Amino acid sequence: MLGALDMFAIGIGPSSSHTIGPMKASLKFVELLDTEGIINKVTRLEANLYGSLALTGEGHGTVFAVLNGLSGKHPKTVDPDLFLKLVEQIKKDKQINLLDKHKVDFDITHDLLLHKKEFLPEHANGMSFVAYNDNKILLSKRYFSIGGGFIVDDNEIKNLSNQVADDVKIPYPFRTGAELFGLCEKNGFSIAKLVTRNELVRKTGEQFRIEALEIIEAMHKSVLRGISIEGFLPGSLEVRRRANGLYNKLNVESINSSLHDQRLLAMAFAIGVNEENAAFGKVVTAPTNGSAGTIPGVLEYYIRYGKDVTEDKLVEFILTAGAIGMLYKFGASISAAEVGCQGEIGVACSMASAALTAVLGGSLIQIAKAAEIAMEHSLGMTCDPIGGLVQIPCIERNGVAASRAIDIARLALLEEESGRVSLDDVIKTMLQTGHDMGMRYKETALGGLAVNVVNC
Ligand code: SF4
């Protein structure tokens, strides 16, 4: 059962599909070795990254993530300050401590292989792990990182369309916008209330609320860190962090009445979060790491400038955003390797626009309209990160998406009727457009800005 809060995961940057997913997969593999009681027999371990993971894996921190995962670290709890130190240690010692329990020789140039020209047939983000006892294979598994930090194995990928099917019976199941908005209308529920009712089959309302507040708090902290740090981001591009300078220039005390400046400030918040993401900091996938800044940028704008902001309203914001994200997960994809940046920034903008419309008092029609407008004008957005780093265009793109979401919410609030294009129409179109898009525009860094901007 996929829930609204599953669209958000607190974890390390810079990429949910290329950092968080591979880190979870490699951790899962060593945990499996442990449960099967064979971890102590391992004399050699080989990790293979295929397709998009290999092509942009260095810039997206995939190699570092795999090394941390094999060492027993989880993206949510890993200390960002120790993340790179552990990698340096493994490189220096030429040894890895599997699950922090069993040391084996490990040379990343021979034991962690990047297959840049080979794509596994099932998905562009494939990886495999093989554990040996001398020449005998003890265990071999393939995993796929399918976006937003979600991973599936060999068997699960075969049933991917059913993977989010109802394994738990919920009172208000939905997979499309028509179903979600129809159920809300019929029962007189807000979107937040409907997804909460669904969650009550597996947890208490109090637990669910605590989880929602934890996500909101993590987003808020990532904004505060993002706007307070200066300097350069890691990587060959030598990108200077801008959020702190923008925030200071905007003279925060004097802009309360100017929507224009408030939008600029929301851009600074979003940019700050994605600078944190690029620096291997802690952020919340929303719905991915590359797009982690858009929703917190808009949320922080609402916290500071919204009227009568309450904890309930913040929870409504995050649950509405999550429910809209679920529609894309069900009906299309949130993986840039599958559908380009439409699936990251496009979806984040759609989620943020709908969430802001909801907490500003929008009707169901207006919320659906905001979600639809945001994606309609993100159709065709390619993924072409320069140097394979989640920096250019990613960071600024979050700022622009946050500002757009604020405008879109305000536009939707002025209109009372549904337009000609439904949210489901646009979700379907986004998927088709993504499938038609050339592979070089789908998180491979082989096209677009990635080849036209000199990286030196
Ligand atoms: S261009 Fe978009 S999809 Fe690609 S890495 Fe950057 S944020 Fe993610």
Q: Provide the β-strand partners of residue 131.
A: 45, 139
The SS3 call for residue 114 is: strand
**Which pair of structure tokens corresponds to residue 270?**
């979003």
Burial 235-273 (b: 16+ CB within 10 A, else e): bebebebbbbebbeebeeeebeeeeebbbbbbbbbbbbb
- The average pLDDT across 247-253 equals 82
Angle at which helices 294-305 and 394-413 cross, to 10°: 50
- CA–centroid distance, 341 to ligand 1, in Å, is 5
Pick from 19, 443, 449, 452 the residue to mutate for probing ligand 1's pocket: most ligand atoms within 8 Å of its CB.
Answer: 443
- In DSSP notation, 172-240 reads S--SSHHHHHHHHHHHT--HHHHHHHHHTTTS-HHHHHHHHHHHHHHHHHHHHHHTT--SB-SSTT-PB
Tell me if the bond preceding 287 is cis, omega within 30° of 0.
yes
Note the pLDDT tens digit of each residue in 351-389: 999 999 999 999 999 999 999 999 999 999 999 999 989
Note the pLDDT tens digit of each residue in 120-138: 999 989 999 999 999 999 9
Burial 132-150 (b: 16+ CB within 10 A, else e): beeeeebbebbbbbbbbbb
**Which pair of structure tokens corresponds to residue 179?**
């179903």
**Which pair of structure tokens corresponds to residue 93?**
């010692």
User: What is residue 388's predicted lDDT score, i.e. its pLDDT?
Assistant: 87
Q: Which H or E run contains 372?
A: helix 364-376
| Cβ pair 22, 69 in contact under 8 A | yes
- The average pLDDT across 1-11 equals 92
| Cβ pair 238, 321 in contact under 8 A | no
Tell me if the bond preceding 385 is cis, omega within 30° of 0.
no
Cα separation of 51 and 125, whole Å?
A: 6
User: What is residue 133's predicted lDDT score, i.e. its pLDDT?
Assistant: 97
Return the CATH superfamily for domain 16-162: D-3-phosphoglycerate dehydrogenase; domain 3 (3.30.1330.90)
Note the pLDDT tens digit of each residue in 147-157: 889 999 988 98
Least-confidence region, from 208-212, 242-246, 415-419: 415-419
**Residue 423 Cβ contacting ligand 1 at under 6 Å:** no
User: What is residue 216's predicted lDDT score, i.e. its pLDDT?
Assistant: 98
**Residue 390 Cβ contacting ligand 1 at under 6 Å:** yes
**Residue 13 Cβ contacting ligand 1 at under 6 Å:** no
Q: Nearest Cα to 384, choosing from 395, 376, 392?
A: 392
Nearest CA to ligand 1 atom 3: 341
Angle at which helices 364-376 and 177-187 cross, to 10°: 170
Residue 270 has pLDDT above 80, yes or no: yes
User: What is residue 282's predicted lDDT score, i.e. its pLDDT?
Assistant: 92
**Residue 443 Cβ contacting ligand 1 at under 6 Å:** yes
- The 10 Å Cβ neighbour count of residue 444 is 24
| Residue located via tokens 């591979």 | 22
Nearest CA to ligand 1 atom 8: 290
Cα separation of 362 and 354, whole Å?
A: 9
Residue 291 has pLDDT above 70, yes or no: yes
Contact residues for 154 (Cβ-Cβ < 8 A; gap 6+): 141, 142
- The radius of gyration computed from the CA coordinates of the chain, to the nearest angstrom, equals 21
Q: Which atom of ligand 1 is nearest to the CA of 343?
A: 3
Q: What is the 3-state secondary structure (H, E, C) of 306-360?
A: CCCCCHHHHHHHHHHHHHHHHHHHHHCCCCHHHHHHHHCHHHHHHHHHHHHHHHC
User: What is residue 56's predicted lDDT score, i.e. its pLDDT?
Assistant: 83
User: What is residue 455's predicted lDDT score, i.e. its pLDDT?
Assistant: 64
Residue 253 has pLDDT above 80, yes or no: no
User: What is residue 255's predicted lDDT score, i.e. its pLDDT?
Assistant: 66
Contact residues for 130 (Cβ-Cβ < 8 A; gap 6+): 45, 46, 48, 137, 139, 140
- CA–centroid distance, 448 to ligand 1, in Å, is 12
**Residue 338 Cβ contacting ligand 1 at under 6 Å:** no
| Cβ pair 264, 254 in contact under 8 A | no
The residue ranges of every structural domain in the chain are: 16-162, 177-452
**Residue 434 Cβ contacting ligand 1 at under 6 Å:** no
Nearest CA to ligand 1 atom 1: 383
**Residue 399 Cβ contacting ligand 1 at under 6 Å:** no
